[in-house]
Structure 1
């Protein structure tokens, strides 16, 4: 059966199949609303200024066209950019590769050296506990030495 949904001579089933594929590739309205491209532009602009980079230099570093850098910085064109574009810009701005993606989603970006792996926080806490235990051990050793000295003086006085 042939119809007129979107193309002449194209079977309706094929047209519906194409529409279904397009729809699954699209994201929900909530996901788009949650994206803050303005914040991405502000972050790029602020970091570029901080590093003393011009748009042209940022474009060269990131291998992204200067036009796209300008559009993102000034938030002039409302369209979704690829994850690779945001990663390339993040790295060129000396940030974690996922920095601008986090800004886009309204999340706190990772600091340099962080991987986003939940075990990083656990390891960090364990290191902190080790440091505290080392400090406690040193204090106990000092107290023990002092007690031994006091005990030795007391023994000498009672003899």
Structure 2
């Protein structure tokens, strides 16, 4: 199944323009990091995203939760009519979800750096810190 990230970018850009919504506001409403929103809107970095990311963006933009997933796969997006309106999440929960995503990203970056150092070197650095 092909993924059309350019179509997702176009849909995001059209909808945010239609709603006069800034990236920062979309990030706050969706709990998706500003960096990821920029990547997606600019269609710069194409990689597999957590389905929850597309769902959170769809809901924040007032669409059916599966709207952007359908766009990604070249399908007709489900109508928001007839589906229950998404309830706005508690801002604290949204913030915690964002923090969890950020910590996971940092953990992955630390793991990648540790792998670059090699198995013995990272242990040596902890045992013998520079003074």
Give the TM-score taking structure 2 as reference length: 0.61
Find 2:9's aligned residue among 41, 47, 51: 41
Deviation at 1:110, TM superposition (A): 1.1
Name the residue aligned to 1:17: none
CA distance in 2, matches of 1:45, 1:77: 16
Per the alignment, residue 69 of structure 1 pairs with 37
- Structure with the largest fraction of helix: 1
- For 1:55, the equivalent position in structure 2 comes to 23
Higher relative contact order (CA 8 A, sep 6+): 2
Stretches of structure 1 that go unaligned for 5 or more consecutive residues are 1-30, 116-159
- Structure having the higher Rg: 1
Q: Deviations over 1:25-44 (max 9, x none)?
A: xxxxxx2xx11011001100
Please, which runs of 5 or more residues in structure 2 have no aligned partner? 84-131
Could you tell me the TM-score, scaled by structure 1's length? 0.51
**Superimposed CA distance per residue, residues 128-149 of structure 1 (whole angstroms, 9 cap, x where no aligned partner):** xxxxxxxxxxxxxxxxxxxxxx
